[in-house]
Amino acid sequence: MRVEIIAIGTELLLGQIIDTNSATISQKLAEVGIDCLYQTRVGDNSERIVSVLRLALERNDAVIVCGGLGPTQDDITRDAIAEVMGVTLRHDQAIEDKIRAVFTSRGRIMSANNINQAMVPVGAGVIEQRKGTAPGLICPVGSKVIYAVPGVPYEMSDMLERAVIPDLTSRAGVTGVIRSRTLRTWGLSESALAELVAPRLDALDAGDGRTTIAFLASGIEGIKLRITAKAESSEVVDTLLDAEEKELRGILGEIVFGINDTTIEMAVAKEIVELGLTMSVAESLTGGLISARLVNVVGASDWYRGSVVSYASDIKFHLLGVEVGPVVSERAAIEMAQGARRLLGSDLALSITGVAGPLPQEGNSAGTVFVGTSSEMFGDRAIQLMLPGDRDRIRQYATISALDWLRRILSGGTPSSGLD
């Protein structure tokens, strides 16, 4: 089964919106063993949309079209699909009634142009809309099929999981169960990680083909390793995934901080909760980024006391009690942590100071970062990191590196010295 993804919208071509939908769809297709050979972006022009749809059907078995299902004049995906199918559009009263009910539930009056969303190509099936107003479509074209889903990411994802993927796998004759598990890592480059995992990849290539590994570079969120297994039942798939996860953890060790949707802040929170600690933060160059990530964790109010964003040196001196002198140093990082712990009454404090650039500071080049901690349980310590990138990337790298360093301390592991 070969699939092409077509993302519709002039805003995509102008760079006003990043096409994340195509990436999401292609990942989901890969997880169920369906090949995505092409991805196309096209503007809101009927002639061009029809042209790319016809080309896609010539070279693929199925097409997933994303976007252009809204109520406005430039939402012309339905019309283009109907032209390719060689049919007209019909009005679906049930869809209109449901859209009206959505507006009524929100205390709003439905505009007349929303009726456009109730128009369906003759012969097409409808994917129920549960997150918004525009329904999706399943449109047979001879032995092939076009799926149309909204461009709003969470609406698209819902329809993809609930209707498109099941229909595709049924048409493709996919049997058994395919499932993936993603290991999230921090601390190694993609090339270094690939070198470590290479023997395992060779072993899987020489095996029965039921388990595969893929690398997913995620920028400031590290490198992900996706394990995919296929077998005759869920139980066997889970056994294969468990076995491969064990193999990879044995190779990668402490750089694995979570599975699937686990973020670095969730990993830190888990350790904090298990140890029964409270924590606080003193931030300089990250300017609140660490705190923002920590409060993203559900239940953070139970253990997170707060933060001091001590960007100016005199705030470090007069509020946190840092000794007057260089503020980009191990000593300053430890004293910042001590000050935050004292001021906010926490069991443990994390601190960060450094040079985000582009200019050097106190003789330190951009990317020089010091992270400190203070607690009775783990003592007072600091580490120096050297991080790459521009000002924004240094701050983002510093944030996750500091949290990862703390995670390793809390779990009794070996603290990392940053990105290798």
For the stretch 95-107, pLDDT in tens is 999 999 989 988 8
Predicted local distance difference test score (pLDDT) of residue 203: 94
**DSSP type of residue 361:** B
Predicted local distance difference test score (pLDDT) of residue 417: 56
Three-state DSSP at 4 gives strand
pLDDT > 90? residue 263: yes
- What is the average pLDDT across 169-196? 89
Predicted local distance difference test score (pLDDT) of residue 233: 87
On average, the pLDDT of the chain sits at: 94
Q: Is the peptide bond before 140 cis (omega within 30 degrees of 0)?
A: no
405, two tokens = 């360093």
Domain boundary assignment for the chain: 2-172, 177-259, 264-410
Predicted local distance difference test score (pLDDT) of residue 64: 98
User: Order of strands across the sheet with 211-217?
Assistant: 211-217, 223-231, 177-185, 256-259
- What is the average pLDDT across 89-115? 90
User: CA-CA-CA-CA torsion for 295, 299, 304, 307, nearest 10 degrees?
Assistant: 20
Q: Does domain 177-259 have CATH number 3.60.20.10?
A: no
Sign of CA dihedral 388, 389, 390, 394: negative
Q: How confident is the model at residue 419 (pLDDT cuts 50, 70, 90)?
A: low
Percentage of the chain lying above the pLDDT 70 cut: 99
- What is the average pLDDT across 207-227? 89
Sign of CA dihedral 264, 266, 269, 270: negative
pLDDT > 60? residue 418: no
Instruction: Report d(CA 308, CA 279) in Å as an integer.
Output: 12
- pLDDT tens column, 347-406: 999 999 999 999 999 999 999 999 999 999 999 999 999 999 999 999 999 999 999 999
CATH number of 264-410: 3.90.950.20
pLDDT > 80? residue 315: yes
- What is the average pLDDT across 43-55? 97
The highest-confidence range among 211-220, 333-342, 404-413, by mean pLDDT, is 333-342
Predicted local distance difference test score (pLDDT) of residue 415: 67
H or E segment at 224?
strand 223-231
H or E segment at 200?
helix 190-205
Q: Does domain 2-172 have CATH number 3.40.980.10?
A: yes
- What is the average pLDDT across 29-54? 93
- pLDDT tens column, 303-312: 999 999 999 9
- What is the average pLDDT across 267-291? 98
Q: How confident is the model at residue 168 (pLDDT cuts 50, 70, 90)?
A: very high
